[in-house]
Every structure is written in structure tokens, then in C-alpha cells.
Structure 1
Amino acid sequence: MEPKVSVGILWSKEIVFALNGEYTFREGKVAQNNTVSYKDGQILWNGNYYTELCFEPQNCESSFTLKDVVIGINFHWERKEDQVFQGALKLIVENEMITAINLIGVEDYLTSVISSEMSAHASLELLKAHAVISRSWLLAQIEKNKDLVAKNEKYSAFTETEDEIIRWYDREDHVNFDVCADDHCQRYQGITRASENLETVKQVIKETRGQILQSEGKICDARFSKCCGGIVEEFQNCWEDIKFPYLRKLRDSENTQDIPDLTIETEAIEWIDSRPTAFCNTQDKKILMQVLNNYDQETTDFYRWQVTYSQDELSALVLNRSGIDFGTIQELIPIERGTSGRLIKLKIVGSEKTLIIGKELEIRRILSTSHLYSSAFTIDKEDNQFILTGAGWGHGVGLCQIGAAVMGERGYSYDKILLHYYIGAALKELY
């Protein structure tokens, strides 16, 4: 039986929305245009106070529009747009704001995800592969959350000592819904983008309905990122210290065995300073348009890239982003790298404080006004300037979207694409 998913869409003191088609609240019909406000710890709607509201669609054609949904949260392309969703709209109080949650069947959810994460005009094989991994990742997260609740285990994504701060970011940050709608989990933008090529997307969902990746009897936690930079990263280097057999180091090419040891600093420097052959090493606009939405296409250099900061710029940036006063930043020293050359631990040496930070997303977050493209970078210091030369876009674990797009163009079937990136996994039909 097809499961349902709850998706957190928007957090605000006031939410404006329109109900397109027939919706009910407590069996009564609801007007089309609505506004809710947070007041005195409750939701104010139509002159009454509520702790929770749920608007139920009365037919499959009904949808709702949320105004000013923030997308690309904390990334350089952050912006607001109106978005349209199918299914039910639930409103709750959370962190002194109102949270808008979409309740929807998994397959309808996926119709949006695969066209929000990439262009709906991508090749059929790429879209099929992405449908399977998005479904797998989602159901794996729901199962993981059930296990945590059943075991009554406290989940922590943060450790701190006198010498280091290690933090990672995952969907466990969410308590009152399964996943959010932004890059933190999976991009989900309702039927706003799916409508661009809806029939193709529906075909892909129908042909892969219920299909998931499985390993050792469990649904795969099928991670993915924009561009691995040539070598895929391992799960434990970005999140908790768990080794999944299907998320291992991998050369993103037809020769998957030719893998330099990028945990060695000299090897990582040589790799990042070169442009080795890889599926994701492409500048073919036709292929990139399959993966990158219009705002993603504002990014042009991602396989290899470079950022330069003056010493003063870097010192001010790190203070602003971390809230820690290092003083004047004197050195950035790589301490530990993962299998793709991504930094897991970085020592920041300042005139006032020295501290090791990690993991990869925390490093990217602190060293940029939004996020660095990846933590696979080398550091050169010249004339009081720090030059970061990097590889890839995103955490690099699991499927590399640009690499997979190239594979699709070269005639690889979706199952071959999946089994390239998820080593030893099996394709199964769950429902």
C-alpha cells in the first residue's frame, strides 16, 4: 500500500494561501483566499484561535497555493516564489511561528521532487533513476525516524570539546513532519515545476511505482548531490559515523577502480588541481539543463572552482558565520579528508583562538556567505589572501546528478545508473 508523507513547506508569523477547488475544515467548506497569523501562541484564522488547522481536498483536482515560499534557504540563490501543491494543507504552531505542512501520497510527492531537483526535460533514464532514489531516501528516513522513536534514543548531530566543534546537518532536525521541501532534505516545489512537463513525469512515476533500492534487507538511504567532482564521498564522512556498504568511495567514470587515495593531502591537492576524466566533468549545456533549474544555472563553474578572500574578509566572514571570535585568521589547515578529498576537519588558526571544525557542511557554511560549493578544496595563502581551489558541488555522497545525466545521454539504462552509484544494492518493488 502506498504510504503518505508529511512535508514542511513554510515557516512564518503570517501565511497567505489560496484553496483552488473544494476544501473542507471539520466537514465545512472553506473560502478560496485565506490568511493565518501567529498570535498568543496560537493560529488566528477568521477571528478564531486554533492550535492546529487541517484543510482536506474533496477531489484529486483540488490544490492550494502558498504565497512567498522561500526556496534555496541560506544558499546564494535564495528567493521567494508562490507555489502550488496537491493534497491536504496542515497548519501547526512551531517555534513561535506557523508551519505549513503538505500531506500527500508518496507517488504524488515524487512527481514534484524529480522535477524540482532537476529539469523535467531530463532524459527518461535519468528521471527514472531519480524517482527510485528519491523514493528510497524518503522511505528510509521515515523508517529511521520510527526506529529512533521506538528505541527512545536521543539523536545528536553535534559534538564539542575545548579543541573542536563537529556538527552535521540531517533531516532529524525536523520533529513535526517527515521531511522539509528544501535542499536540506529534497527539493519539493509542488506541481509548480512538474507542470512544465507533467505527462513525462507521470510516465516516469508510473513506470517505477513502488521501486526502491535495498541493501542487506533494508531500504537504502540513497543520498545524492549535484556534482561529486570525480570521486564519490562516503556517508560517514558527512553525517553520523555509520558505514553503509552501498555508499562507498567510487570513481565516477567507466573505470571505477582507478581511485587515488584522496585522504592523503598530497594526493588530494594533485587531484583537485587537475581536471580528471569523469562522467560529471562536462560543460555540455544540453546535459546541464537536464539537471540544473534556472536558478542553478547561475552557477557555471562547479567541477573545479576557485574563491579568494583577503585576510580581513575571511576573518570577518568566519566571525559572522560561526559567532566565534578567532581574531585575525592566520592559517587554514586541513586536518582530515574523506575519500573524495572533501575536508571532514579543518583547523582555523586565529590570533585570538584556534579551533578544529567539521563536518563538511559546517566547513562550507562558515567559509561562505551562503555555502561553498563543496569542502573538497585546497588552500593557498599569498600576500594576505586565501585562495580556495575546489572540486564538485554538494556533499558528493551517492548519485552524482550531473554524472548520472551524462550516463543517461550515453545510453545507460536507469538500473545501470543506479547500480553504478549504489554499490551492491538491488532494485526491488516495495508496493
Structure 2
Amino acid sequence: MEPKLSPLHLMEYENEYGAHNYHPLPVVLEKGEGVFLWDVEGKKYYDFLSAYSAVNQGHCHPKIINTLIEQSKKLTLTSRAFYNNKLGIFEKYITDYFGYEKVLPMNTGAEAVETAIKLCRKWGYESKGIKENEAQIVVCENNFHGRTTTIISFSSDTEASTHYGPFTPGFIKIPYNNVQALEKIINENSNITGFLVEPIQGEAGAYVPDDGYLKACYDICKSHSVLFIGDEIQTGIARTGKLLACDYEDIKPDILILGKALSGGTYPISVVLSNKEIMNVIKPGQHGSTFGGNPMAAAIGIASLQVIQEENLAKNAYDMGLIFRNKMKTFCENSKIAKQIRGKGLLNALIINNSSYKELAWEICLKLKDRGLLAKPTHTNIIRFAPPLTITEKQIKECLEIIKLTIREFE
């Protein structure tokens, strides 16, 4: 029997043998259930990151896990060279669920964004009549859509893009939450085929745009035959208190991108949803994935979406989010460190005043860990708070006390 390795040894293994592409908190996890995680020494934590919104249904949800186990005993992968008995059922289920005509399944979120970009460009050439290789897609500053070469080509994050060029052309960056900027660029450029946007910018720290922003952008796109592409990989599937964040403004993206919680955090699943007129520009052999649409993913995807509906998790996210923000807003009014709370549903961010100490948000997260709550900073002075959507009122209030007590230590 191999000796049990200490947390220090396990962290040293990752540092020694793994690429240093993340900067994790010093905690080694081995178990998850619902809103909780346990480390290798048995300490219990509230999870306030939810794997960047991948475990909306809670860790190891029994319905999703049982589906994974049962399907794994029957058939895991055929590739799309053949039909399988799960994919068509999943495709009908998810298109009905979100109100679309067609779906293209992939695996990771970045793959789905790449798929949406290819789909949008192809539609621009074949349906809108844009000259070959001149299509442009408008994106927003401070976006986060993934880390492939094409996606970092239009990133504002120099950490993600430095020394990875040459980059993919065909993108125009404009300020987020600025309707006039979109209208101006679309009026000036007849080669624009799409507008790719996060309804709430997640990596930027739950940056919520002004009310009416998305609807105004959607209307501008419609009036100029430009595809509105909604990246709801992090905001979708009930995270913000509605099934989709776009639902707050009653808009339906021409192309909708989903991932993360589509599997409840158990398996890489992503999809691109659209109508027939747009999706049918892709013909056999023109785009695909060995694993995309595999029977495991199809079965798990249905179970994950059923959990969201059966447990009314969108409403719970809405209600718990209100409690969380209201309590934190009151706290911020009397705090020198906690400047502002923002977000929707259970996608929230606390802005920290780190003017006297740059690493303050990191230090706060270390203290939160010591008190049994796991969260992670972004952009130096922002701490994201995004627990699984199954969290109860009693639990959210307990976590609020942990957060407030910890921040008071630094006042």
C-alpha cells in the first residue's frame, strides 16, 4: 500500500511536475458534496467558487453521478462516425429546454466559443454576403471567453496574451456597457457579422452592465443583420437567478453558448445553440469533435438540466443572491476595506480597497480558507463569491458571518 502523502507533498508534486499556469490557494481537496468541500486532512469548507460556475447543482449531485455511472457501463464514445441512442434525445431535449431549433455539441467552453466564431463567420460569408476573409466580429474590452489562440487574440488581459502571437485577425474591441460604441462601429463597418458578449463579465469580477444595455445592443444587431452571440458559459443555467442572464432583458441570442454547469461539473460538455438558418451553413466534414456529442455527455447533460428545473435552482439563486448582496451592501457602508458588492443571483463580487496593500484580497481569501470558506481573488482587488445554487438561507447567513468577521480582522 502506498503511503498517504501530506498536503505539502501533493502541492509540491503539482509544482514540480505540472505547468505553472494557475496560482491556487494552498488547500488540497479530495471530496465534495453539495455546497461543501473537504481537504485531504478532513477539514470541511464552504465552496464559494463552484469551479467557476460549473457545479451549480452542487458537488457530486446524486442524480447526475448515477447517470454518469449507469451510462459509463453501457457506452461512452462512438465518435460521430455513427449514430448513438443518446445524442438525438439530448439534442431534442436541450433545444426544447432553451427554445432553439438546432444544437452543436462540443466539450469545453473555449471549444464552444471557437465554434460560435466559425459559425458566425461562415454565416456572414454565405448568408450576409460579406467578401471572403473580411468578416469582423465585435467583442468587448475585459472579456473572458477562453484561452485558445484565437480567443486571446481579442483579450484585454496581457497575462493571457503576451508572447503567444501572431494573433488571429477579424475582431474589433469596444468598451463594455457602451451602447453608443457598438452602434458607431456597426454603422461604420459593413463587414461586421457578429457581436460576442458576456451578459455579465465573470472574470472581470461579476461586472453587471446597466439595465437595458443588452436589449439595446440586441436591437442594434437585429436592425443591421448582425448576429448577437451570448456567451452564457458562466452566467447561464440558473447562476444569475434566471435560466439565462439574457432572460432579464427578454432577449434571445442568435447564437447561445453554454458549458460548465451543463454537466454539473462532472464531465466536459458545451453546446452552441441557434436556429436552422444559421446552423445549416455548417455541412458534414466542415466542423466537428471526436468527443463532442458522445453518449456520456448526452445522458449527463439531460440529467444536469433536469436537476436545475426539478430543484427550482434559478429561484433559489435569485433569492439567496438578494440576501447576500443586501447584507454585504450594509456591511460595505461601514467598512474601510469592503468597498462595493455587485452581481446577480449567486454570481457576486466584492471590491476590496487594496490601496495600502496590493495583496490584500489574496490575504483575505487565505483567512477565509482558515475559517472554512473557499473563494478566490481576480484582478488583484476583487473577490468572487459564487456558491453552488443549492445553498440554503441558513448556510448563506453563516457564510456572511464568516466573510464579515474575516474582513473586520483587516480593518
Normalising by structure 2, we get a TM-score of 0.26
Structure with more helix by fraction? 2
User: Quick one: higher RCO (CA 8 Å, sep 6+), 1 or 2?
Assistant: 2
Is the strand fraction higher in 1 or 2? 1
